[in-house]
């Protein structure tokens, strides 16, 4: 499967999976110069930024390994930008990761925190 198609398939699969578990998907593919967000959801009143990583084979590097400190920083900056854009600065936030590897879905809630001071 081509990378672009795999990514779109993974994001759609993750959105369905999270929706079935009570989250509400409110945005997809939010992009800014600081980074991009695959899915933006709400879990009750908590704004959840979801990074989706899909792999077709287990021989590839782990999807979780692809979320490096630099990638986390870019996700946090994109999330801050999104919160400002939507006037949600006071909203509680969470960063989740959905891994899809060899057809199995793993949802990691609170995969990382936004420690430190970031500006956009």
pLDDT digits (tens, 9 = 90+) for 94-108: 999 999 887 789 999
The per-residue pLDDT for range 41-57, each reduced to its tens digit, is: 999 999 999 999 887 76
pLDDT category, 4, cuts 50, 70, 90? Answer: low
Please, which residues bridge with residue 105 across strands? Answer: 100
Domain chopping of the chain, boundaries? 3-112
Each residue's pLDDT tens digit, 21-36: 999 999 999 998 888 9
So what's the pLDDT on residue 120? 45
Task: Give, in words, the CATH class of 3-112.
Answer: alpha beta
| DSSP letter assigned to residue 61 | P
3-state secondary structure of 112: strand
N- to C-terminal Cα separation, the chain: 35
Q: What residues have CB less than 8 Å from 99, skipping those under 6 apart?
A: 53, 54, 55, 62, 63, 64, 105, 106, 108
**What are the backbone angles phi and psi of residue 59, rounded to the nearest 5°?**
-70, -20
Give the integer Cα–Cα distance in Å for 32 and 12: 21
**Residue 13 CB neighbours (<10 A):** 16
Q: Identify whether the C-beta of residue 29 lies closer than 8 Å to the C-beta of residue 38.
A: yes
* Contact predicate 100/54, CB 8 Å: yes
Q: Tell me the whole-structure pTM to 2 decimals.
A: 0.86
């Amino acid at each position: 499967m081509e990378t672009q198609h795999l990514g779109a398939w993974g994001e759609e699969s993750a959105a369905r999976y999270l929706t079935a578990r009570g989250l509400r998907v409110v945005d997809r593919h939010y992009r800014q110069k600081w980074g991009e967000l695959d899915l933006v959801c709400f879990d009750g009143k908590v704004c959840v930024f979801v990074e989706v990583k899909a792999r077709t084979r287990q021989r590839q590097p782990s999807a979780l390994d692809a979320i490096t400190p630099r990638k986390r920083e870019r996700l946090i900056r994109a999330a801050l930008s999104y919160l400002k854009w939507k006037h949600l600065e006071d909203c509680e936030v969470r960063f989740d990761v959905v891994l899809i590897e060899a057809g199995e879905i793993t949802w990691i809630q609170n995969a990382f925190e936004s420690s430190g001071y970031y500006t956009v």
